[in-house]
Amino acid sequence: MNLLEAVPLPPFESALTPEFFNRNPVTVARELLGCLLVRHFLEGYAIVRIVETEAYDCPVDPSCFVIERLPGAKEALRGPPGRFYFHKSYEHALLNVVCGPLEVEATILIRAVEPLAGLEFLRVNRSVKKDLELTNGPAKLVQALELYPSFAGLAVNQEKAYFTRGKSVPDERMTVTARVGLSVGKELPWRFLETGNRWVSNGKPSS
């Protein structure tokens, strides 16, 4: 049974195209709040709603020196926008989407999502005591949605995994903070989250 049976399956024809991501990553990260990610499995599907994101704009972002040292990161981020990119943190894969024009290193990180449908599939992929632990963190959601390594480097509009617009988050229901876990670039307010949503990660803003 789906978590919310009333949630309709967004058709693939409504998927966001790579062109949506061919913009400033800060703008994309803000606009992705409330958007949906649809994941098709062999026996069904899951729908999740994006509730927390971060932006990384390497030309003006001092924190990017860490990303650029990761194997293959520089080439991936300079490639076509609207591609799934996964980087590793403590051996866990984290979901990014490449942003901006070619040759510009920029990306957004999806930090947390709220399940709307297909909870039973997420439970199979990630065994936890509480459902809240399924997708309330960047590594958790990748595991629960079984995204890595199948979609690495692919365009975001895949029939088995695609983004669509959902109910947008108005400014009065959004919180903006510094990003999580940084030693430099802490002054940049490029983390966006839905205020009060219990699926937001427990990451603390860098200070």
Beta bridge partners of 41: 44
**Could you tell me where the beta strands, DSSP code E, fall in 15-69?**
36-41, 44-57
Domains assigned to the chain: 12-194 (3.10.300.10)
Place of tokens 């108005």: 170
Separation CA 85–CA 94 (nearest Å): 8
Q: Could you tell me the two tokens for 168?
A: 């947008």
- Cα–Cα distances (Å) from 203 to 54, 83, 146, 163, in that order, read 12, 25, 22, 24
Q: What is the pLDDT of residues 9-21, one digit of tens each?
A: 999 999 999 999 9
Structure tokens at 195: 């205020």
Residue pair 37/48 in contact by the 8 Å Cβ criterion: yes
Query: How high is the pLDDT of residue 6?
Result: 65
pLDDT of 69 reads 80
pTM for the model stands at 0.95
Note the pLDDT tens digit of each residue in 71-122.
889 899 999 999 999 999 889 999 999 999 999 999 999 999 999 999 999 9
